[in-house]
Structure 1
């Protein structure tokens, strides 16, 4: 039995590929941006196995939700996944939240209400959890918990929020139908093996008629383990063939932790954070190569300045960002051992976002980097989707066993 999914706001396909790697078969991949859709279509033409069979829908999710024929899927779809546009809540945005026309959380709730998926995964930026947006963030969570309790005509979002709060705390809710157990979690992608310090909010929900208790998967990687690998055993440098004289000095903020790790005498139980050097292993220097690696062309013009100093080679990269007016400098640069800064190539950025090497990013350097800056790391999407898939399949197995037992009891009676 294959699990089914629909992806909204799919972008270049990061979360959708993670969902596919978890074993879900997509009924629709919806994205309004032409360049991102062209990226997926180009990879389909190339026969990339993860996206080859995706039904790509280029258009506004709101229009798609209105026109999509959901017959046969309502209540049966296993997973709805998507990352609504982050600009209304981004640290670098205008912080308009519900007043921003790009706020697609209402559209997301509408689709959940209509399709009644067994589970959903919603991803967004850390900025959504800021105190400035606290009330609206809580409002989003309540809408996802009770998607059928819709906003009335001429009702403000604040009044709707209060009505949802009263409903949640009421002792009796009548025979109210669709509801979800919602689990929001702030996650650092580096703690799950992504070579990038990328903090994101994941909101995961399971329909309440399912016997599922879920929590976010445990972290698998840590800074402690990386520093132990680098400055206690030195295995990191040996693995990369970096001579002692060529090794940088540890960051001052890590000095105390390194001393504690040396005193413990035991290695950390988690795997080391993956670094920029780890991620780029095997890629040629774009300033010297012949350009035979996909999307790996050198881009000139990088410069470091206060607040934009690039990512050191031997830590996870800073968060890759899309930017409203082109590629932000410091976040999308690496610092070479010489101290010189240069831009990451598209392929290097794709590695930092854990996209497959055979996956082409369509468009100019700026456009491709924008797509990557907006993406969910494929590996992180896979971690979350695999956990969701596991819990759905276990629930199905329990139901199958219970059905098999019931006739036996009836016969015995």
Structure 2
């Protein structure tokens, strides 16, 4: 079985996706006590996938890497996003929470065959253009270390010169790095969540890799809702109870209705799709679901209007102001709003219902707002696993040919 290590694991979304893709997890590292409590509680309950995780609570920079063999198959994780998030202070390298230098150091130490790192869309902003390129080049050439006293712009210049010269490509640890801005809704997650994935495969493996093609689309959802009506039929919503067609989408819907063949992609999954079989948290039968408790006080105001039922949810928020601000709420059929429960939010992040979150409502919502959707993590990791397995098979076949010769 292929081996993986998880950095900055949070509540375990990406790590679970990686494990579901077939990797054996050698270490799961996270510094936040509440997130570690969540993973430990599920581990102690014997929850599948996580029950054998070696969870280490603490600073990644203090971990003893001699316990992990070099040449593992995959290093994955989500370095803290606050230095680059839209709600952060945008300090990048000047932010002490920037863990990309540490991440590059772990790549240099472990020399994994591949890595998968996830971060916020804000990393790609024009104001971060040079630093984003700096991150990518460090991951491409992790052995070109920043010298004592060297500024990051000077280090960037030296990395650019190394890349242009091509001198390092054959003799040093290098990676073919593929950065991709992804909308999770395009991969079956019931949430419009845009994130950057930085995937690298070690250059000596000779592996070519590209990000998996989208499996779901907005057009397919519009077709089911406004051309065939299959969406409303599936949810048993009678014709007279259905909302009006959005005027701003009429021309797009007319185009879809005139196309002879529907898209091969499945429709985006909506909030209604994700939550159709879970009762309202104020009903007695809701008690059979863990983490499904009603949270009062939701209200809508400009900039915080919540998520309509018949679209993927807006991006779940984390941090001091995200949850109180009100975006982590649903807009019901009658136009009123209420907060998503922890369990509902977990479904929007594609965590299984049996996975329990530890802490208060605000704390668990912070964990969920920071998480990688499990299904998306699995899709990316499975794609990388397939390419690594193909490489290993080709190598074994080549060795067999040599022996016979």
TM-score with structure 1 setting the length: 0.96
Confirm whether residue 361 of structure 1 aligns to residue 360 of structure 2: no
**Which residue of structure 1 aligns with residue 13 of structure 2?**
14
The match for 2:284 among 286, 289, 311 is: 289
Aligned partner of 2:114 in structure 1 is: 119
Query: C-alpha distance in 2, partners of 1:150/1:390?
Result: 31
Q: Cα distance 1:406–1:176, how it changes in 2: closer, same or farther (>3 A)?
A: closer
Distance in 1 (CA, whole Å) between partners of 2:355 and 2:168 is 49
Kindly state the Cα deviation for residue 267 of structure 1 after the two structures are TM-superposed. Answer: 1.5
Paired residues of 1:78 and 1:117 also in contact (CA < 8 A): yes
Aligned-pair Cα RMSD in Å: 1.2
Task: State yes or no: 1:371 paired with 2:370.
Answer: no
What is the CA-CA distance between 1:326 and the residue it aligns to?
Answer: 5.8
In the superposition, relative to structure 1, how do residues 272 and 175 fare at CA in structure 2: closer, same or farther (>3 Å)? closer
Give the aligned length.
404
CA contact (8 A) 1:70 1:115 kept: no
1:350 equivalent in alignment to 2:349: no
CA distance in 1, matches of 2:166, 2:146: 22
**Does residue 337 of the first structure (1) align with residue 333 of the second (2)?**
yes
Q: Residues 84-104 of structure 1: CA distance to partner in whole angstroms, max 9, x if unpaired?
A: 000100011111111111000
Q: Which residue of 2 aligns with 1:90?
A: 85
SS of 2:39's equivalent in the other structure is: helix
> 1:134, 1:248 → 2: CA distance?
42
Q: Residue 176 of structure 2: SS of its match in structure 1? A: strand
Whole-Å Cα distance in 1 between the matches of residues 38 and 9 of structure 2? Answer: 11
Name 1:58's counterpart in structure 2: 57
| 1:394 corresponds to | 390
**Equivalence map 1:254-269=2 (5 Å):** 254-269=249-264
- What secondary structure, in the 3-state scheme, does the structure 2 residue paired with 1:135 have? helix
Choose the corresponding residue for 2:100, options 89, 99, 105: 105
Structure 1: where are the runs of 5+ without partners? none
Question: Residue 182 of structure 1 corresponds to which residue in structure 2?
Answer: 177
Greater Cα shift, 54-63 or 261-270: 261-270
How far residue 244 of structure 1 moved from its aligned partner, in angstroms, is 1.2
* 1:201 aligned partner: 196
Q: Is there any run of 5+ residues in structure 2 with no aligned partner, and where? A: none
How does 1:41-52 map onto structure 2 within 5 Å? 41-52=40-51
1:228-276 alpha-carbon deviations (Å, 9 max, x no partner): 0000000000001011111112333322211111111321211000000
Residues 1:68 and 2:65 aligned together: yes
User: Structure 1 residue 299: deviation in Å?
Assistant: 0.3
Range with greater deviation from structure 2 (179-188 or 241-250)? 241-250
Conserved in 1, the CA contact under 8 Å of 2:330 and 2:340?
Answer: yes
* 8 Å Cα contact 1:190-1:316 kept in structure 2: yes
After TM superposition, the score normalised by the length of structure 2 is 0.98
Match of 1:202, SS state, is: strand
1:168 pairs with one of 163, 171, 184: 163
Matched residue of 2:311: which SS? coil
The C-alpha deviation readout for 1:186-232, integer Å capped at 9, x for no partner, is: 00000000000000000000001102100000000000000000000
Other-structure match for 1:24: 23
Q: Map Cα deviations across residues 376-409 of structure 1 (whole Å, 9 max, x no partner).
A: 0000000000000000000000000000001222
**Secondary structure class of the residue paired with 2:323:** coil
- The secondary structure found in structure 2 opposite 1:106 is helix
C-alpha distance in structure 2 between counterparts of 1:360 and 1:173, whole Å: 47
Shift of 1:5: 0.2
Shift, 1:63, TM fit: 1.1
SS at match of 1:227: helix
Q: Check the 8 A contact 1:321/1:328 in 2, yes or no.
A: no
